[in-house]
Amino acid sequence: MESLAKTFSKPLKINSMKLYSFIFFLFISLSCNFCNAQQKNKAIEKLIKKYDVKTFLADAPNNNPDTFWELVWRNNKELQKIYKAINQKQTSIRQAQQEIYDTKKYADIARQNYYHINSLEDGFRDTLYMQLGVKDVYEGLLINFVYDDEVNAYAAPDGYIVVNTGLLDIPDFNYFNLMGVLAHEVTHFFLQHSLANSWELIKKYNKNKTIATIASVLNAASAGYATANGAGSEGLWNNVDNMTNILFSQAYYDAHGVFKFKYNREQETEADIIAYRFLEFIGVGGEQYIDALRKLDPDGNSTMTAIDDDHFSTQERIAILEYMALMK
């Protein structure tokens, strides 16, 4: 015991260089974490500033939910760009509208196989229409409850909104949670996110096609020059044809390499923010939408179905809304 006591009573020998190195790297690590947190906060603030609708709702009467949607779509800059392009009869927006129309034809066929819950689609659906205020904005919008175990709700480009029974079966999923989810989907439709995506993809395709045309001309010109100078052959021209076809097909793939009518990450964020503000506007409280997100994904690990590769997780979506709630 005495020897053990002597051992612990001896002063510890610390290598000062190792200690200084440890403190230095700890300081660098904490500094990096602080800088990363600051950058993340700035990115969140930028998103909120871009998509928050609180400013132009400040003086609006909250007894009419349709007023909310009127103000949202009338003040949305991206939607106004679409309307401007339509009024100007731009070729690219007309192509995008045609794509939406073609999609609707196929969707109508698929919907014939849905198993609707007729008992829910009468009085309950009418109550939702009234409290969401959507029919006064667009009479053609339809909410449909479908037998499907998948936890999901989605909006089609034509205003056909589907709610699966899997979502309604979530434990403790309440009426206001459902209102928040529907407000998210209604936002996608009222702001024409599908048309916006289709339009952007078509513009990108047209741009890529122009670049491909220039590249193919240059490719053919260089082959012609080589032939004129005795360095070409029939095989070379076959290669030119193959390369030209690849360039054009690649132009299409680059623009349409993803499913057209999914929503991008910023559109999903915009829909989250507006759903939160809608529940806040009608006096329910935006926290009901956050509560819905938690119930939809209790583990917080899943990502939204978007066309980006770097989706926000549910926890990140919640964090954005909670950060917004703290902002003045």
In a domain, 151, yes or no: yes
Q: Are 43 and 99 members of one domain?
A: no
Q: What is the 3-state secondary structure (H, E, C) of 30-65?
A: HHHHHHHHHHHHHHHHHHHHHHCCHHHHCCCCCCCH
In a domain, 5, yes or no: no
In a domain, 280, yes or no: yes
What is the mean predicted confidence (pLDDT) over 99-106? 75
In a domain, 26, yes or no: yes
Q: Are 191 and 279 members of one domain?
A: yes
In this prediction, residue 299 carries a pLDDT of: 78
Q: Are 135 and 163 members of one domain?
A: yes
Q: How many domains does the chain have?
A: 2
Each residue's pLDDT tens digit, 277-313: 999 999 999 999 999 999 998 876 665 544 444 568 8
Enclosing domain of residue 78: 57-195+262-326
Q: Are 33 and 74 members of one domain?
A: no
Look-up of token digits 């919640």: 318
Q: Are 25 and 157 members of one domain?
A: no
Each residue's pLDDT tens digit, 117-131: 655 656 888 999 999
pTM of full prediction above 0.75: no
Q: What is the largest CA-CA distance in the chain?
A: 100
Q: Are 81 and 63 members of one domain?
A: yes
